[in-house]
Structure 1
């Protein structure tokens, strides 16, 4: 029989063999010292809210009303865009931001360490905040898209906490923070790209979706008016027309929708996209999908990532505006996202999460939150955007 002393020595050796991996974990603290268990001395802090209590922010991040407080700074900010009046099938994505936050409650429960990527996006060099939502009208699409662009640019154009005065990839050599936007239907990507263009110029886009979203307005919706011509199926066509995209570096991944004919793929090429269809995963696997994406976008260009939750099969994400069967699993999508860790992501969005169509188990909102956790981890692991220009060992003050 093993003695208690030998068992203790064995456990000590096990901990020693794993280094100090636990030393950087900071438990979530609560609101009041006296609410800690019996307020015993040496307890080391206050009891945090339970994972099922407290106000919902993404991953239980600190909240700041950034749009009303111009002095707030961050390296990565989560920002909601509750808009869904550009959808063609099922509305409800206006509740996406709150649903994704609800689905993210457990992300930081045990400290937030991302095992496959070997990083902790909640405990790193980066200051990460949840900045709440842009106030978006539901009565005027033109004004709503203006609100989204201006709200996003307000946050994007601020100096980050880290390396604010080190040369970066934005216009005039600036280093800017990264904004992760919670949609909202996919129409919101157009005003987001307009904001990105003001800061960076034309950018490369990785587009995860089951649909092309490069339809000409006369084909998708009939374009009875200028307002109607901008919707969640045409926004990339408008982005290409406005010069927001870098030609010949963009890619769709996960495509599987029906088409009006083969010419739809030809028209899509005019917007500068290549296509990886969802079914290709059966022949080239996740590694092949990752390689196709990286070969297209490169590892030096500033890249914007837009993720429609309908990339996932409805078995994994039923709560979306336009579901298509035959999609990827949550595990496959997360693996593909992690494979993009060498890509220079300057920003991202996730869209088309419509919680009203979810199961009671919140499958879709949890899947969306977990996908964003992978994206956030990539950004943190990559380091400040200044590294895109100067390299980690060669910083240059402006």
Structure 2
């Protein structure tokens, strides 16, 4: 009896696959292509990639490393590369006073931007996609700065910035966008704008030298934990040794590159005393401390910055250490007690509509990062820069909020 039952069971099992296949044959997955359909167009009888799948589009995690998968060009040598906004790396870090490593900052920021792309650039906070606002935005690669000679490196960065700043814009501003830089420029021409990826903060000195040739003195909005307005460090003996990431604003003021209407935001470093603040004021800065966000709120900070710089040409420089090191650890001179990434992003949104002629983000040193926390934050802030440069006014608060009600 047992043998009989076993034979019946085996017979049923053998018959199931055929019956199931016959019954559910209409549910089987159809092939993506029929090889016979391509026999005429391919000698092997197999389809080419474009015949079967279309364009070769990189995944967010693949492809060449450019900011947010933007078109990449070696703009410094390619005169045919025109743009309205350029992303430019400045991998310089040989003027730091503490931890080195920011020469890898442009790489880290680009790597942190891999999940960003033109096709999905719309954000709820900005209510726009900066890549769809009529401007041509490209990644112009890195300035090949010397790691051995700081004077040479500073000159290389200035010449590179001059080169891109003198390039004609890509868009017809009379048709596409309201002119931004033409009415500010001394030559009455529209100039492209550059978002620089540092590099240590010294890169701002050659940038301000370059901007001065086009716009004259500019107001600076400076997000940082540190003043960066100190005179040369005691005991230095050469002219070049005066140029560091803590002295460049002092030198810029000496050279007449800045107006007397600049402002710091997020300051919390330790000082030698009240003399540091007196010197800072003489350089042309007012100061917003990190603690002011608790005492006065985000809206008051935005208002103070806007009133300070007014209608002058404005350059924005953001040191990643303005953010608390718990949220952005990869920086050369970390200071405890900083602003959150969200707070910084909110303040940036409130600055849209000012006369921005350029911007940078600096001091990202990925050797001190974990899980790309800092690189991702920096890349997201660069996206905010692009939206800020192309927005005529700050975005309004999210409009879907209404009175709470029971939906059941």
TM-score bracket for the superposition, by shorter chain length: 0.7 to 0.9
Corresponding position: 1:181 with 2:167: no
CA shift at 1:171, angstroms?
1.4
Distance change in 2, residues 1:121/1:109 (3 Å): closer
Tell me how far apart the structure 2 counterparts of residues 184 and 113 of structure 1 sit (CA, whole Å): 28
Aligned to 2:386: 376
Aligned to 1:335: 346
- Counting matched residue pairs gives 341
Over aligned residues, Cα RMSD in angstroms?
Answer: 1.7
CA shift at 1:168, angstroms?
3.1
Tell me how far apart the structure 1 counterparts of residues 195 and 79 of structure 2 sit (CA, whole Å): 18
Tell me how far apart the structure 1 counterparts of residues 82 and 216 of structure 2 sit (CA, whole Å): 23
Aligned to 2:74: 65
Tell me how far apart the structure 2 counterparts of residues 259 and 337 of structure 1 sit (CA, whole Å): 27
Q: Do the aligned partners of 1:311 and 1:327 also contact (CA within 8 Å) in 2?
A: yes
CA shift at 1:172, angstroms?
1.5
Alignment counterpart, residue 263 of structure 1, candidates 275, 278, 282: 275
Gaps of 5+ in 1: 1-32, 384-398
Could you say what secondary structure the match of 1:136 adopts? Answer: coil
Q: Do the aligned partners of 1:163 and 1:175 also contact (CA within 8 Å) in 2?
A: no
Q: Do the aligned partners of 1:168 and 1:176 also contact (CA within 8 Å) in 2?
A: no
Tell me how far apart the structure 2 counterparts of residues 340 and 278 of structure 1 sit (CA, whole Å): 18
- Runs (4+) off by over 4 Å: 164-167
Tell me how far apart the structure 2 counterparts of residues 162 and 221 of structure 1 sit (CA, whole Å): 49
Tell me how far apart the structure 2 counterparts of residues 221 and 57 of structure 1 sit (CA, whole Å): 41
Q: Do the aligned partners of 2:70 and 2:118 also contact (CA within 8 Å) in 1?
A: no
Alignment counterpart, residue 288 of structure 1, candidates 280, 300, 312: 300
Gaps of 5+ in 2: 1-46, 394-408
Tell me how far apart the structure 1 counterparts of residues 387 and 262 of structure 2 sit (CA, whole Å): 22
Give CA deviations for 1:53-75 in whole Å, capped at 9, x if unaligned: 11111111100110111121100
Q: Do the aligned partners of 2:262 and 2:285 also contact (CA within 8 Å) in 1?
A: yes
Q: Which residues of 2 match residues 5-24 of structure 1 at below 5 A?
A: none
Tell me how far apart the structure 2 counterparts of residues 243 and 222 of structure 1 sit (CA, whole Å): 25
Alignment counterpart, residue 143 of structure 2, candidates 134, 145, 153: 134
CA shift at 1:123, angstroms?
2.2
Aligned to 2:375: 365
Q: Which residues of 2 match residues 227-306 of structure 1 at below 5 A?
A: 227-247=240-260, 249-298=261-310, 300-306=311-317
Corresponding position: 1:216 with 2:239: no
Tell me how far apart the structure 1 counterparts of residues 75 and 353 of structure 2 sit (CA, whole Å): 29
Tell me how far apart the structure 1 counterparts of residues 172 and 380 of structure 2 sit (CA, whole Å): 28
Alignment counterpart, residue 90 of structure 2, candidates 64, 81, 84: 81
CA shift at 1:124, angstroms?
2.3
CA shift at 1:34, angstroms?
4.2
Could you say what secondary structure the match of 1:69 adopts? Answer: coil
Tell me how far apart the structure 2 counterparts of residues 270 and 206 of structure 1 sit (CA, whole Å): 16
Q: Do the aligned partners of 1:57 and 1:101 also contact (CA within 8 Å) in 2?
A: yes
CA shift at 1:161, angstroms?
1.1
CA shift at 1:50, angstroms?
1.3
Tell me how far apart the structure 1 counterparts of residues 60 and 139 of structure 2 sit (CA, whole Å): 17
Aligned to 1:226: 239
Alignment counterpart, residue 35 of structure 1, candidates 35, 39, 49: 49
Q: TM-score, normalised by structure 2?
A: 0.81
Give CA deviations for 1:9-60 in whole Å, capped at 9, x if unaligned: xxxxxxxxxxxxxxxxxxxxxxxx9436x826xxxx5252111111111111
Tell me how far apart the structure 2 counterparts of residues 175 and 110 of structure 1 sit (CA, whole Å): 27
Q: Do the aligned partners of 2:217 and 2:256 also contact (CA within 8 Å) in 1?
A: yes
CA shift at 1:206, angstroms?
0.3
CA shift at 1:366, angstroms?
0.7
Aligned to 1:197: 212
Give CA deviations for 1:364-389 in whole Å, capped at 9, x if unaligned: 01111111111111112239xxxxxx
